[in-house]
Amino acid sequence: MTKYKLILDLDTGIDDALAIAYALADQDCELIGIIGSYGNVVVEQGVRNSLDLLSLLGAADVPVYQGLPCASTKKNFVVEPISAQIHGKNGVANLTLPHAPRQVAEQDGVDFLITAIHKYQHNLLFVPTGPLTNLAAAIKKDPEIVQLIGGVTFMGGALSVPGNVTPAAEANLHQDPAAANEVLRSKLPLTMVGLDVTTRTLLTKKETQTWRSLGTSAGSIYADLVDYYIDAYQVTSSHLAGCALHDPLAVAAALEPSLLQTFFLNMKVETVPPFEGRTIGDEKRINEPATTTQVALNVDKKRFVNKFMNRLTTLFADH
């Protein structure tokens, strides 16, 4: 019997695809649903990518729900050119994935999240790896969920390093700073997995060749996905000498917090220019005890990358 129920909230690009695979490969959790978001792609494309990837990995029974299509403060969303460069115009390296015949679930993603939290309560973990728009909307609609959920581990933000879309801001939280600020100022049990730690966890083409050599559909497709990602990193972040495992690290840390070194900090997100999207300590709560929000500053990268490769290689060998 699995220890946790898990919900992912994804703007499904390449590292989100890796997060899906990691969640399916972990024996301590049951992935009970994916909520679609926007960011790397528009929400409809992200939902389709999630459906197709789940089918590829033998998990066509996991439902996918559509979340909100844009930030709460905007009327629409347009994919940034840098996102299309890094993930491909369709979010999955411009590959044509085997098409899953099933469609998105009828229930709204925000309502699904609220219902699941009430059903599973402290046994439910939620991992958003895009904007925090859906989570903020759920809190607004049903504030009680803040006290019920087991934990939220999100990929986003940067505390001790610069951002990756502006000197101050990381991409996910920059998409909807107001929503992120609402989440970080709530009493949710939060762990922020930001660029401080995700850019320490790297994959190279040596690892993707391991998947390609399996001779399976999943191994070949994921090798192609990540090779594209690595090539994009050579252009945007050549100093890293590989691609960062942003989103799968958040999933792993949700299930195994000991992978991270964290400290508690009352935080906020700046919502106005020129620093919108910046994650920083909240000066208005500096003298209040910090008991709910943890920030990751280091990771046991060797242990994580070894675990990541072992689990995904085993998963891909069977599909």
CATH assignment of the domain containing 27: 3.90.245.10
Asked if pLDDT for residue 278 goes beyond 70, the answer is yes
**Domains: count for the chain:** 1
What are the pLDDT digits (tens) for 135-150?
999 999 999 999 999 9
pLDDT for 36 equals 98
- What pLDDT, in 10s, does the model give residues 105-158? 999 999 999 999 999 999 999 999 999 999 999 999 999 999 999 999 999 999
- pTM, full prediction: 0.97
pLDDT digits (tens, 9 = 90+) for 203-255: 999 999 999 999 999 999 999 999 999 999 999 888 888 999 999 999 999 99
Cα 249 to its chain centre, rounded Å, is 9
Task: Identify the three-state secondary structure at position 134.
Answer: helix
182 token code pair: 């609402």
Q: Read off the DSSP letter of residue 279.
A: E
Tracing tokens 């106005």 back to the chain, one arrives at: 272
Residue pointed to by tokens 């994921």: 222
Residue for token pair 């629409």: 76
- State the average pLDDT for the chain: 96
Sequence letter at residue 109: G
Q: Per the structure block, which two tokens stand in for 170?
A: 């990381």
Domain containing residue 39: 4-317
